Amino acid sequence: MSNTIVVDRRSLIAGATVLSVVAALRPLQAQEKPMIDARTALIVVDVQNDFCPGGSLAVGKGDEVVAVINALGKRFASIVLTQDWHPAGHSSFASSHPGKKPFELVQMPYGPQVLWPDHCIQGTRGAEFRADLDLPTAQTIIRKGYRPQIDSYSGFTEADRKTPTGLGGYLRERGVTRAVVVGLATDFCVSWTAQDAAKAGLETLVVEEACRAIDLNGSLAKAWTDMTALGVKRVTAAELAG
């Protein structure tokens, strides 16, 4: 009797696998689109002057995400902004490492660290959100990278991979189960934020046209590989229902 049950289970699993493959090959039907609902939060990563053209760490065409994010934001009741927020002389700045140049790699106590031009220094215009970012329903700003010795790409966990920002607990207490991540830059702060969202157990989606990348030594391709491996879904805004 127990053998029969095992065989049946195997058949069921095999059948389910076939069905999921078939489902993956079809275009998404409206009712199958990931929903923007009361349990879905939009996480807008680092849409700040220094990451846009004219800024000290400009992401190519970074300003183009603003209109896309403004339109997307109208569909969300729950929006979180992250804001890179460094003290002057931060350890992630090349200027803090004599003889080093921006985009070189150094070893920090917590692992390898790309060195950046000075950017997003607390209280400066470069650290401000883009003036045309229009998200009146945003309720929370998570500032990150303010500890002098630790960088923070992710909105959830700093670069030492153990210091939480509090965003995970905030979303959990508010009953959020799905995160839609957008912003700058795809291959650093968006990718790390999306990966941490997935690790926190959230269904996580990245809206590709609402992001722009730095793409340093293949970092963009690696970011998508890493995100996909954790189950992060790469979508367009049109593929989100609600």
The C-alpha atoms of residue 48 and residue 54 are separated, in whole angstroms, by 11
Are 185 and 213 spatial neighbours (Cβ–Cβ below 8 Å)? yes
Q: Which is nearer to Zn ion, 84 or 158 (CB)?
A: 84
Tell which residue, 114, 171, 131, 158, has the closest CA to residue 47: 131
Shortest approach of Zn ion to residue 119 CB, angstroms?
A: 6
| 52 in catalytic set | no
Determine, following the binding rule CB under 5 A, whether residue 63 of this chain makes contact with Zn ion. no
Q: How would you classify residue 188: left for phi > 0, otherwise alpha for psi between -120 and 50, otherwise beta?
A: alpha
Q: Which is nearer to Zn ion, 40 or 157 (CB)?
A: 157
Q: Which amino acid is at 98?
A: P
Task: Please identify, among the stretches 47-55, 65-73, 80-88, 199-207, the one whose residues bind Zn ion according to the rule CB under 5 A.
Answer: 80-88
The residues in 123-162 that bind Zn ion, with binding defined as CB under 5 A, are: 145
Which one of 52, 118, 144, 187 is the catalytic residue? Answer: 144
Q: Which is nearer to Zn ion, 38 or 106 (CB)?
A: 106
> What is the size of the binding site for Zn ion (CB under 5 A)?
2
Determine, following the binding rule CB under 5 A, whether residue 118 of this chain makes contact with Zn ion. no
The C-alpha atoms of residue 106 and residue 95 are separated, in whole angstroms, by 13
The C-alpha atoms of residue 105 and residue 92 are separated, in whole angstroms, by 10
| 196 in catalytic set | no
Q: What is the CA radius of gyration of the chain?
A: 20
Q: Which is nearer to Zn ion, 144 or 178 (CB)?
A: 144
Determine, following the binding rule CB under 5 A, whether residue 84 of this chain makes contact with Zn ion. yes
Tell which residue, 21, 80, 65, has the closest CA to residue 237: 65
Shortest approach of Zn ion to residue 212 CB, angstroms?
A: 16
Contact residues toward Zn ion (CB under 5 A) are: 84, 145
* Residues belonging to the active site: 46, 144, 189
